[in-house]
Structure 1
């Protein structure tokens, strides 16, 4: 393996790359650039999914092969084979889901070296990589963004002693073995060339030693070239200052007199309980900004008359020495601005029209006629960014050129009209809204020096301490639905995928990509976008395609971590269903609090308010083979349970409080087993009650959770150290969760209808699902539980409760009249044998009602029972009647279907089978 790039370049020493030796790194680069140029001329190579839009020259200019290509990386498979180790079924590998607290680092210099729309801090990823992998293992991030997973993988080998000691102490306190330090190798892939360019700079050797000096040289050359644009006269009438930023304001037309009012200069009038109103400087009339039309300026563009909002310079902030001053633009300033306005747009300034999408066609983007890459810059900013970009592109050292552009591209948005003026802000650059494009009425036009002068120094310091090596990372640009990676070669997957309509990455990256002249191929972007005809179904299909690839390349028995951030239940369910259909088995869901860096246990029924962390595994090959041999036999179900329980956390605690491991809940295990069988197109061999009864007889249960016998000692040790047993949080939102709540309640406290009714009523809050029929308590009790009628002996469950909680009933026989009288009319949970009888009776009733849904007139079901739909879909699947599932699903409101994971799973699986059989 080569040494650091900086050393190799300085010393002129030979470098090794994928088994080949080159006299220098420049020779390595030239060799692979020539090979990439040949591949780019091949139409089949360019036909790959997610191939970006750009010329051969532009793609080659961005790339540093074989470690980074601004297109699908043709050396990715070779990299994995060269540095990875083949899957060995005999190799012992066992991990529980990541369950310890993590500290994150949003203030870490590496995290702040380059901004991105969303990213998980690398210090929040490091513990997961240490937990699931060994030094030298290969980690994959198929939605790499700015490459924080790669930074985390390499940080495992470069972390300072203070960080290592802190983490080791935390793990020791949690009873976790010490991590094995050492860099892991990483494969980073993203659809966006802008993202992969950042990833490449973050993860490949950085020329830190020459970087700051070169950046300052560029700024000095820029000043020499265009200083006349950024000089202003001080109040003494003779000293020239350098402008830091200029404040611009839109002008609005008074609806009463058509007078023009500059927004920032206009008088604002406040009234209690109302938004501020603008008082016209001409006639004194008052109006809200929304009631006033934008003043416009017309101009010629590409031979056509266009318009933009009229913007007026109202303040100039400038520096003399180390002091900053403010002034109103004087006549000389206005003449300079007029002179700049008359100049031709620089030749290298990209002219790319924005596509029709939610990002570019709504809100202030539409009302300000912001329609292409040129319309977001004022003339002076356009000349400045074009000039410094050209200066950086003129740097003869390829690696240094990439490093310089890495920082310069961050100035693009801060120099655009998206950068709002905030009078109370500590700094005026970086004031754009994140995750969207928004054109404010007041704009701070920042200079390159104001943005970049300190930036070059901060970035250099960050990379002085984080030194990477070639061979640790490879970066590819393309779709994660078609990774050029061999089967079963990846040791761990960590992904932070796009989440529906929260963030439109391709749009947000479009402006920077226009400067690189390599644009994302948006057809394969997993988003929900009405403009592009992409609904939740398209989104789920694309995400499933990516998860299928991750499943294919991951070694059997290994893990994937998915970070999820979306407040909509339907997107959350789409992710979970896509995971299961791809073949993954979910073992745990936790939350990542990015502000505090802590993990907390949650259930999937919670509203999604924080970033969720899904831990899922690819079952080992032995389980797959045994299922193929046995088919739909009960032994196959118990084989799955045996394997699944081995993958789950034995115990979880937070601040000394033992937590309920949701995935060990019997019904959750049953759901996972069903998904496993459906994924393999094998009939489910056991009914719910048969399965639950089998669990009780084959496995151990503690505190409502199921364990393997050899896991019990460890759990009981943890249980003995806790002040109280773990409590499962229950959220009653539909009939199934209402039954579960009643089961938990009556098992602890067998009660009469009058006793349980007020307790039950308090559970039926605002969280009840919109289209779900609210069942009567009496019907739920009658269908799912037993009532003691005072004949015969008092059931053991009621006897235990009464003798424990009533002093006068202690030590009485089960046939004692006093005990029978107190026990009369109490509802209790049936024993397994009677529970099966009730379940059979209940299922018949549910399927009868499902037939009524099937024959009901009309195109929609306004109200329904989810339990009926779930039972009907399950029965139809067993009969391979996929058409019925699809037909009934189309009668269900889209919102209800998408927000119920079980219904969505059956429906999507039926669609997949129908498509496969077509």
Structure 2
């Protein structure tokens, strides 16, 4: 397979100065690459790939789009999705929905954390959808531009980008089958004996007569072997095979464990593993490891008519002899023997099973066969065959855990390194044909048109991508400390000879002393590069999964500091398979879809002027309202769009100026008054004049308006909840209080005013003591009165020392805003340092002021 282009020595030397250049020698990097389509290092041909399109840099072409708000529910049973496993993966049909909404055929799409390259697959499939999906999309939206998009795929991991290359650069199915089948037959002929066993029925060995009339044993082909750890009984100190005491005859687990010798009731945590010393010919030294023994063999017999029947048996003397023979033999092929990646994940297998090196994660027979397959694929420089091998790698290492329902079935990615107590050894020669079939079928659905350009490196340094050249960005970034990608990919990358440069890896890890602040800094550097390369007025979608609010806040803060403006945040309802708008900290425990955009050039220019005046505020609000969803909801329901409410419009405006180092040219009271004067309001939401008719048209068709604030946790959410409650009717305090207590979930450190005080500050009441939402004409006056009270409260926090244990978050926000206006950064820093750390990490407004004050006034 001839390379179209080659690296020069000078070019490769230049590329090594780019952040995230992988670890590996030049020979392996060059071998793995297929320029200009894919490079196992930063791709110097990206610019040419972009310029081959018809879209100009830095222009929006009258682009006018609002966030995608339709429900997204795409399952993971698609045959393309299942061709290759990875730690995290978004179904390509889900991504297609976003591409069809935000882009046109020929647009350039960037995925800077591409993983297996599903964004590339989605870009191609936008021009080649299956009929069912095409009909579904056109039913949901009659205006759809079908056509291939061009994808730039980048990832820090060479394993990920190589898989992305395999997904997005198909070869002809017939050619793949010819090449792969030939290699498989060669290896089967050479190594088939490694997975052979005698056919046994009810303990009796079975025989047949050969063509010479001799009686010979019937040989079966092993599909998989189950291995079990051996423990020491803490009572009688005898060796116990765990399988014997843990598994019932039907293959399911016993509830209780007892020693077969002394009958003592025992627990696994109280038992020690039996250790054995064996010679490791790869390391040329004796090593100590946990003892494992084969306990069950599943094999197939093919009769004279070609019928295949599967059987189970206990290992016999012949099987044990083969295992000993394998251990004594020398594997005649190269395989990786390097020490495991230093990190958090290698500790457990080293402690439990004595595994310290890459090759020890495989049984010797699987190592032998996999090395034989790998050797032949590499000799032929056959990237598609290497892609198949990467897809079976998960299936054939020792981390495959026993599953009672389907022992030889699909393994699960554990997200860690873990040698199970009962493991399953599957023959590579059994898995290889099945993966060949699946990948061949996928390639049959795709043509080898170069719709994707794939690069290996850090998204914190995208210097090879020209500024303002990207039409849309879709990313599924690393989320805190959930997964240690560099470590998890180390096994496969060791085979490739090119490993992840983990210095710029955006994760949280104690081992590498990367905490939340380091994670945020690294993510922010990526977001700044995304902001640079994205065209003005264009969109970025971030899929985010994390159970910690602090990580979500770090992502949001990084987005804003890079310059993006968040327009919509949706949450995946895992039970219903739908998205609804994120409005409470509790919602972050699910999957989020964050939609943000890059403001137009003129707005950026005005914001950076030292003499920014109030006109810039309304210019921002006008652009922002134009990019928000107009209607959210289906089936007789309209949901309130929180981003269109006054308080969030104010927050976005403040963040826009603060993140650009500019003063806020308007008070909160004047902002709310001006908002009411300039824009029509419906159901507490503000619209542009040209948008409100669309909302009104939909509004009259629905049965109800769905409130998005499900519970209250601080002063702001209390006011939101009350505003909605009192928008339709006036209520007495006695009517309001029981409803309020039902939805109250107070934050630990929140000094929430009494309900009566909040009503007095924010709402009005009739002579009959019934509370109602104030007239908009008085909102500015009420806001000024409330702000004075909040600032008085904030002043009381200045005098104390030590941590603030109880406080009004709204008073802290008001105080920080006032101090920022006066350029009193030290007050923000001093008060910020006295707040509980998690409060700063989980409140986007406080974190924004504090971080920017540290930049300008910190020591």
TM-score with structure 1 setting the length: 0.87
SS of 1:358's equivalent in the other structure is: coil
1:352 partnered with 2:332: no
Deviation at 1:354, TM superposition (A): 2.5
1:476 partnered with 2:449: no
Match of 2:144 in 1: 179
Query: What pairs with 1:576-595 in structure 2 (closer than 5 Å)?
Result: 576-592=556-572
d(CA) in 1 for partners of 2:169, 2:284: 45
**Cα distance 1:629–1:742, how it changes in 2: closer, same or farther (>3 A)?**
same
Match of 1:370 in 2: 355
Per-residue CA deviations over 1:390-431 (Å, capped at 9, x if unaligned) read 121122xx4xx1111111122223211110121211x62532
Match of 2:600 in 1: 620
Per-residue CA deviations over 1:242-300 (Å, capped at 9, x if unaligned) read 1111110001111112110000012679xxxx994422223222210111011112235
SS of 1:54's equivalent in the other structure is: coil
Deviation at 1:522, TM superposition (A): 0.7
**Cα distance 1:57–1:595, how it changes in 2: closer, same or farther (>3 A)?**
farther
**Cα distance 1:89–1:407, how it changes in 2: closer, same or farther (>3 A)?**
closer
Per-residue CA deviations over 1:20-71 (Å, capped at 9, x if unaligned) read xxxxx83xx25x2243x5422x2x4212100100000110111001110000
Query: What pairs with 1:814-833 in structure 2 (closer than 5 Å)?
Result: 820=767, 823=768, 825-832=769-776
d(CA) in 1 for partners of 2:172, 2:854: 52
Q: Do the aligned residues in 2 keep the contact of 1:567 with 1:607 (CA within 8 Å)?
A: no
1:148 partnered with 2:86: no
Deviation at 1:198, TM superposition (A): 0.8
Match of 2:11 in 1: 39
Query: What pairs with 1:292-307 in structure 2 (closer than 5 Å)?
Result: 292-300=271-279, 302=283, 305-307=286-288
Equivalent of 2:167 in 202, 207, 211 = 202
Deviation at 1:164, TM superposition (A): 2.3
Structure 1, unmatched stretches of 5+, are 1-24, 173-177, 788-797, 799-819
Structure 2, unmatched stretches of 5+, are 201-205, 208-216, 303-307
d(CA) in 2 for partners of 1:347, 1:912: 56
Equivalent of 2:328 in 339, 342, 349 = 342
SS of 2:299's equivalent in the other structure is: strand
Deviation at 1:99, TM superposition (A): 2.0
Query: What pairs with 1:8-157 in structure 2 (closer than 5 Å)?
Result: 26=2, 29=3, 32-35=5-8, 37-40=9-12, 42=13, 44-87=14-57, 89=59, 91-102=61-72, 104=74, 106-157=76-127
Deviation at 1:116, TM superposition (A): 1.3
**Cα distance 1:229–1:91, how it changes in 2: closer, same or farther (>3 A)?**
closer
Deviation at 1:355, TM superposition (A): 3.2
Q: Which moved more, 1:154-163 or 1:626-635?
A: 626-635
Match of 1:279 in 2: 258
Q: Do the aligned residues in 2 keep the contact of 1:110 with 1:463 (CA within 8 Å)?
A: no
d(CA) in 1 for partners of 2:511, 2:267: 31
Deviation at 1:699, TM superposition (A): 0.5
Q: Do the aligned residues in 1 keep the contact of 2:333 with 2:375 (CA within 8 Å)?
A: no
Deviation at 1:894, TM superposition (A): 2.0
Per-residue CA deviations over 1:114-170 (Å, capped at 9, x if unaligned) read 111111111111121111111111110001110000111111112244432332122
Q: Do the aligned residues in 2 keep the contact of 1:559 with 1:618 (CA within 8 Å)?
A: yes
Per-residue CA deviations over 1:678-737 (Å, capped at 9, x if unaligned) read 122111122222211111111100111101112121111111211234434342011221
d(CA) in 2 for partners of 1:267, 1:154: 49
Match of 1:776 in 2: 754
Match of 2:213 in 1: none
SS of 2:114's equivalent in the other structure is: coil
Deviation at 1:580, TM superposition (A): 1.1
Equivalent of 1:656 in 636, 639, 650 = 636
**Cα distance 1:884–1:352, how it changes in 2: closer, same or farther (>3 A)?**
farther
d(CA) in 2 for partners of 1:292, 1:467: 56
Q: Do the aligned residues in 2 keep the contact of 1:353 with 1:373 (CA within 8 Å)?
A: yes
Q: Do the aligned residues in 1 keep the contact of 2:257 with 2:267 (CA within 8 Å)?
A: yes
Per-residue CA deviations over 1:292-338 (Å, capped at 9, x if unaligned) read 01111223554665322110111111111111111111111101101
1:571 partnered with 2:551: yes
Deviation at 1:563, TM superposition (A): 0.7
Q: Which moved more, 1:826-835 or 1:903-912?
A: 826-835
Equivalent of 2:292 in 311, 322, 325 = 311
**Cα distance 1:335–1:90, how it changes in 2: closer, same or farther (>3 A)?**
closer
d(CA) in 1 for partners of 2:246, 2:593: 50
Deviation at 1:504, TM superposition (A): 1.7
Q: Do the aligned residues in 2 keep the contact of 1:277 with 1:289 (CA within 8 Å)?
A: no
Q: Do the aligned residues in 1 keep the contact of 2:804 with 2:834 (CA within 8 Å)?
A: yes
Deviation at 1:874, TM superposition (A): 1.7
Equivalent of 1:562 in 538, 542, 558 = 542
d(CA) in 2 for partners of 1:544, 1:159: 35
**Cα distance 1:79–1:646, how it changes in 2: closer, same or farther (>3 A)?**
same
**Cα distance 1:423–1:267, how it changes in 2: closer, same or farther (>3 A)?**
closer
d(CA) in 1 for partners of 2:247, 2:123: 54
SS of 1:266's equivalent in the other structure is: helix
Deviation at 1:365, TM superposition (A): 5.6
Per-residue CA deviations over 1:54-94 (Å, capped at 9, x if unaligned) read 00011011100111000011111222223252246583110
d(CA) in 1 for partners of 2:92, 2:771: 53
1:526 partnered with 2:506: yes
Per-residue CA deviations over 1:582-628 (Å, capped at 9, x if unaligned) read 11111112234678764433325442243211111111112223334
Q: Do the aligned residues in 2 keep the contact of 1:97 with 1:588 (CA within 8 Å)?
A: yes
**Cα distance 1:152–1:204, how it changes in 2: closer, same or farther (>3 A)?**
same
Equivalent of 2:673 in 677, 693, 717 = 693
Equivalent of 1:898 in 831, 841, 844 = 841
1:389 partnered with 2:374: yes
Per-residue CA deviations over 1:791-849 (Å, capped at 9, x if unaligned) read xxxxxxx4xxxxxxxxxxxxxxxxxxxxx4xx1x3444444565434433433333333
Match of 1:327 in 2: 313
d(CA) in 2 for partners of 1:692, 1:780: 18
d(CA) in 2 for partners of 1:528, 1:244: 40
Equivalent of 2:682 in 691, 694, 702 = 702
d(CA) in 2 for partners of 1:353, 1:911: 42
1:852 partnered with 2:796: yes
d(CA) in 1 for partners of 2:318, 2:654: 76
d(CA) in 1 for partners of 2:354, 2:823: 54
d(CA) in 2 for partners of 1:712, 1:318: 69
Q: Do the aligned residues in 1 keep the contact of 2:341 with 2:490 (CA within 8 Å)?
A: no
Match of 2:212 in 1: none
Match of 2:186 in 1: 221
**Cα distance 1:419–1:713, how it changes in 2: closer, same or farther (>3 A)?**
same
Match of 1:265 in 2: 244
**Cα distance 1:511–1:267, how it changes in 2: closer, same or farther (>3 A)?**
closer
SS of 1:518's equivalent in the other structure is: coil
Per-residue CA deviations over 1:341-400 (Å, capped at 9, x if unaligned) read 2234555211232334332235x56433333312211222221211211121122xx4xx
Query: What pairs with 1:375-774 in structure 2 (closer than 5 Å)?
Result: 375-395=360-380, 398=381, 401-425=382-406, 428-470=408-450, 472-483=451-462, 484-592=464-572, 598-629=578-609, 631-765=611-745, 768-774=746-752
d(CA) in 2 for partners of 1:355, 1:243: 32
**Cα distance 1:626–1:34, how it changes in 2: closer, same or farther (>3 A)?**
closer
d(CA) in 2 for partners of 1:371, 1:869: 51
RMSD: 2.4
TM-score with structure 2 setting the length: 0.93
**Cα distance 1:209–1:294, how it changes in 2: closer, same or farther (>3 A)?**
same
**Cα distance 1:131–1:323, how it changes in 2: closer, same or farther (>3 A)?**
same
**Cα distance 1:911–1:468, how it changes in 2: closer, same or farther (>3 A)?**
farther
SS of 1:722's equivalent in the other structure is: coil
Equivalent of 2:232 in 253, 262, 287 = 253
d(CA) in 1 for partners of 2:223, 2:63: 57
d(CA) in 2 for partners of 1:778, 1:594: 38
May I ask how many residue pairs the two structures share in their alignment? 834
Match of 1:886 in 2: 829
**Cα distance 1:747–1:724, how it changes in 2: closer, same or farther (>3 A)?**
closer
Equivalent of 1:785 in 741, 751, 763 = 763
d(CA) in 1 for partners of 2:816, 2:25: 50
